[in-house]
Amino acid sequence: MIKSLKIIFKYLQLSWMQGMEYRTNFIVWTLVDVGWTAIDLVFFQALISNIKMIGNWNLAQALIVIGTFRLLVFPVWGWMFASFNTLPKQISEGKLEMMIIKPVDSQFMVSVRQFSFSVLPSLIGGTIFLLLGVRELGYVPSFLNFIFFLGLLIVSVALMYGIYFISIALALFTERLNNIAHVFVALYDASRFPKEIYGIILQRILTTILPVALFIVVPSEVLFRPANWMSWLWFLILAVAFNVLARKIWLSGLRRYSSASS
């Protein structure tokens, strides 16, 4: 555990140094993130001002959802996409050996090798949106609600990681899937909308087979809805199941990759 934390810290340091080496690029992408954060706020406010409700969310609840969405932008774009972006290309070009021969778990190594700090504004913007949403609610959720909220955020990150890593690991079984890293982040963008806006069949798919509709909604609703223990339990089961599946697919793919390289 300590060894893993040291490796993560070293990669964080290296990623920060790389970001500061190309400061203009870092500043530009930071401003882009600020822009997307502002667009989210304007977009949802425009919707609410015209239709009063989005699915079954009012303005206060929508602000909390936006806040949760912006908070989770950091692990999605700042960690997962940064680490996974070039992995399919490395696999197709046979350059994965430098990762899998190290005396550290290969999945861990490819998962923490790069971070991006240009999405830090999303953490600030997300926090502001959450505070605005709580203020608009007219009441303050209990301390226990906030604890559950943080716990479900962690489960959400775990679920997103499992689904995202599965899509990346599929590159071990095919010739070229160089753009597969962009598929998940596109799905993540759709997760900020209530599942009620979709048809019944699509709702089932987005909450079971490909549960992107749960990433943002389940943690957010802790702050403005009564506790739904069955929903939370299902959320946890999905996170565990997708991570177990991701592990199996990765190990199976590595065996195929090794035999192809030999």
Residue corresponding to tokens 């790389």: 18
pTM (2 d.p.)? 0.87
Per-residue pLDDT tens over the stretch 210-241: 788 788 889 998 998 888 888 899 999 999 99
CA distance 211 to 239: 10
Residues of the chain with pLDDT > 70, as a percent, come to 90
| Pure H helices in the chain | 2-21, 23-51, 59-73, 82-84, 87-92, 97-100, 106-111, 120-137, 143-169, 181-190, 200-204, 217-221, 229-261
Q: What is the pLDDT of residue 259?
A: 45
Residue corresponding to tokens 């080496």: 21
List the beta bridge partners of residue 57.
54
Q: What angle do CA 120, 131, 45 make, to 5 degrees?
A: 85
Q: What is the pLDDT of residue 239?
A: 95
Q: What 3-state DSSP class applies to 57?
A: strand
Question: How big is the chain, counted in residues?
Answer: 262
Q: Backbone phi, then psi, for 194, in 5-degree steps?
A: -65, 145
Q: What is the pLDDT of residue 54?
A: 65
Per-residue pLDDT tens over the stretch 177-190: 667 777 888 888 77
First-to-last alpha carbon distance for the chain, in angstroms, is 32
Q: Which DSSP category does 77 fall into?
A: I
Would you list the domain boundaries of the chain? 2-261
Q: Backbone phi, then psi, for 216, in 5-degree steps?
A: -100, -40
